[in-house]
Amino acid sequence: MWVANNWKDYEVIDTSNGEKLERWGKYILLRPDPQVLWNTPKKNPAWKHLNAHYHRSKKGGGEWEFFDLPEQWSIQYKNLTFQLKPFSFKHTGLFPEQAANWDWFSDLIQNAGRPVKVLNLFAYTGGATCAAAKAGASVTHVDASKGMVTWAKENAQASGLSDAPIRWIVDDCVKFVEREIRRGNHYDAIIMDPPSYGRGPKGEIWKIEEKIHPFISLCEQLLSDDPLFFLVNSYTTGLAPAVLTYLISTEVMAKHGGHVISDEIGLPVSENGLILPCGAAGRWQK
């Protein structure tokens, strides 16, 4: 498992009974987590000193209960700064486990010895975009949500990347890739973090089990003659790491050589030394 264990401003303090107790900077949040199927004693005092608690509804969805939490605050990861705010469906605008991927591809970009063009698809609030740009890449950031792209720009600015070569695109990812192929554009690296289910700006439906293979095949056409890496991240529990390996092997490795490795991604739990599973990633590199 790839573990994001270099955080200072974030930690999973403890886990029990379907919930994870987290520290985001100086604030303690309690949020549901479908992987936490165990029920262990809640000994850590932080369980009783929450700044916010997201309650899952039995009907689906849920709502935040706030005790003492600002509308927005920031945390740092190495030389990156991220703006956080609690919003719908339990999220804060950042997935800390992705730092395991940021570290991996940042090293590749820094050691490439050449300019690197990165395409970040389903790019959300720009964690990977900021990490790649900070490592020296030029990045095209694509997300269907205008609000997410605005948030990503704020993160880039907070991270000192206002003048970095980042292209901000609000568009359906599939349609954008199809247009880039027609334009003859190419990228040295592709990052994608597709949702399990989603809708594009014009109601386009995305179901990952149906769409992921043809989409990887489509994206492969955008790779340059000397590509550096190809990263697929998945939170969908049905997509095992081995499935990601096969998908990337058949479409990317078969045409460009190199090698593929996939694994679970996780976060360390301070209280008990467990590693909390947080999805999987498939990584191809030359």
| Same-domain check for residues 66 and 104 | no
pLDDT at 75: 98
Residue 236 lies in a domain: yes
Element (H, E) at 265: strand 259-268
Among 34, 62, 84, give the residue marking a domain's end.
84
Among 24, 49, 84, give the residue marking a domain's end.
84
pLDDT at 149: 98
DSSP readout, 222-273? Answer: TB-SS--EEEEEE--TTS-HHHHHHHHIIIIIHHH-SEEEEEEEEEEBTTT-
> How far is 85 from 261, CA to CA, in rounded Å?
34
Mean pLDDT calculated for residue range 59-66: 89
pLDDT at 236: 67
Of 251, 256, 248, 255, nearest to 226 by C-alpha is 256
206-250 pLDDT per residue, tens: 777 778 999 999 999 999 999 999 999 998 666 889 999 999 999
Provide the β-strand partners of residue 82: 75
Domain count, the chain: 2
- Whether the model pTM is above 0.85: yes
- Domain of residue 278, residue span: 96-285
Asked whether 248 and 260 are in contact (CB, 8 A), the reply is yes
Mean pLDDT calculated for residue range 124-152: 97
Mean pLDDT calculated for residue range 47-69: 92
Among 51, 84, 117, give the residue marking a domain's end.
84
162-195 pLDDT per residue, tens: 999 999 999 999 999 999 999 999 999 999 998 8
Neighbours of 88 (CB within 10 A): 9
Tell me, what DSSP letter sits at residue 223? B
pLDDT at 139: 98
